[in-house]
Every structure is written in C-alpha cells, then in structure tokens.
Homo-oligomer: A and B are copies of this chain.
Amino acid sequence: MENIAQIDQKIQALMWQMRKETLVKMQQPFSIDEKSGRKDLVTTIDKSNEQTIISKIRELDPTAQILGEEGFGDQVNQINGRVWLIDPLDGTMNFVMQQNNFAIMISLYEDGIGVVGYIMDVMNQKLYHGGTNGVFINDQQIEAPANLHLKDALIGISGPLLIDNNHNLQQIARQSRGPRMYGSAGIEFAKVLTGELVGYVSYLRPWDFAAGKILAQALNLQVKTIDGGPLSMLSSNVVLVATERASKEIVTLAN
C-alpha cells in the first residue's frame, strides 16, 4: 500500500469523480427500490456508486476489509486492521425526492481508530475531508467550531427520534434555539463541523457516522452514544455529535 498522504490524494480524486458520475446518473432514468420499507429507499445509483468505490479501494489497498452499505464489500465481523467504510449515497430519500441534501461518504479506520474521513456534499460541491492533520472543505482548512452551549444554538435531530421523544429529545430540542431536520447524516455532520448546528442526534449505522466521527473528533467535537458511551463501529447506535459543552448537557438531559 502507498503511504497515507498518497492514498488521501487518490481518495479525494475519487470523491470528485463520484460526484461527477452521480450528477450524470441523476439525469438518466434509474430505479428505486424499498429496503426495509417505504421510508428506506435504495436506487441503482447507490449500488453502482458502491461498486465503483470498492473496486478503486481494492486497487489502492488490496488487503484491507471494506464495509459498504449496499453489501458489495466484505462481511466485516471485527474492526481490527484496516477497514474502509462506505456510504455510496447517504440521504437516498432526499436524493430521490429533492435531488439535494445527500452525500457520498468514505472513511478509513485502523484497529478501530479513525485515520481519514470524506463527506461529499454533492449539490453544494463541498468535500469535507481530513483527520488528525486537520479538517478541510475542498482546499480550505477549517477551525474547530465555537464550544457553544445547547441553549445558544440550533440542533439537528432525526424525525423518528424527535416524534417519539426518545431520550427526552423533545425537551432537548426546546432547550436549544431550535431543532432542524435535514434527512442526511452526512449533511448534518457537516453542519456540526462548521458550527451551523451545535449538535446532531440520530439512530445511525456505521457507514452513516464513520466519516463524520473522524472529522468531528479532529475538531474537538464529541462523538458518543446518546448515553455518553463509546460507539460500536460494527452495529447501529443512537449517535450524538456535539460541542463538548452541548454534549455534556444533552447526555445529562437524555439520561
């Protein structure tokens, strides 16, 4: 395998290539299927994106494991060694209904530790990427967002969790300056990175949060379960990403 700086350049190029391909495929007919139900969609573009990404990563890093949302990767049962996580189209419902507010995400973990993460906001032409060496939007390095309190900012919360008031999230929303709901983990993680949201809470699978977790932690943001515990990288979690202050406040209110 090449060194991480070389790999990073190639994955960045891959993200821009995937963006371009997705924009082209969106203009052509594609099929939409339901996965677990009418609110959980998959398109032929999710699948073909994943196949392209996996084939490129196999070439770059042939001995790593690959965990992809659509199942074209490996059966990953342990997080040791190098593991690539892939969400080929995050926010598929938005992609289908809005042709906006969706992302492509890739990340690399080594022995469970995040190395590099990539979130491509396709329609806004913004690639959020980096790791411990800094976080960038395209070529511009960004600073850690202000360590705001919950009461002083907006919070992203997923619809089902807010409606069902799981983890006292209605009260948490009331204590903030307002809830927001965009329907894509990648887009909402990106808004926490830039400080547009003080935090985000949603029930997520590993490929939904893996890239965002690396970028968030590199900016001094906390990424935990809603109980304040560590995330499992191989199963679903109610994920909380937030500033250090808001994270403490939310975990207290939620438990």
> In the complex, what residues of B have CB within 8 A of residue A174's CB?
163
A98 located at the interface, meaning its Cβ lies under 8 Å from any Cβ of chain B in the complex: yes
Are the CB atoms of A163 and B159 closer together than 8 Å?
no
Q: Which residue of the partner chain B has the closest CB to A94?
A: B154
Chain A, 132-175, CB within 8 A of any chain B CB = 151, 153-154, 159, 162-163, 170, 173-174
Could you say which of B93, B177, B182 contacts A93, with CB atoms under 8 Å apart?
B177
Count this chain's copies in the assembly: 2
Given contacts A162-B162, A170-B163, A179-B181, contact A196 B154 (CB under 8 A): no
Could you say which of B93, B151, B154 contacts A178, with CB atoms under 8 Å apart?
B93
Could you say which of B97, B151, B181 contacts A181, with CB atoms under 8 Å apart?
B181
Closest 10 CB pairs between A and B? A181-B181, A98-B196, A159-B179, A163-B170, A97-B154, A180-B181, A159-B178, A39-B177, A180-B183, A163-B173
With A94-B154, A180-B181 known, 6 other A-B pairs at CB within 8 A are: A93-B154, A97-B153, A98-B196, A99-B196, A163-B174, A178-B183
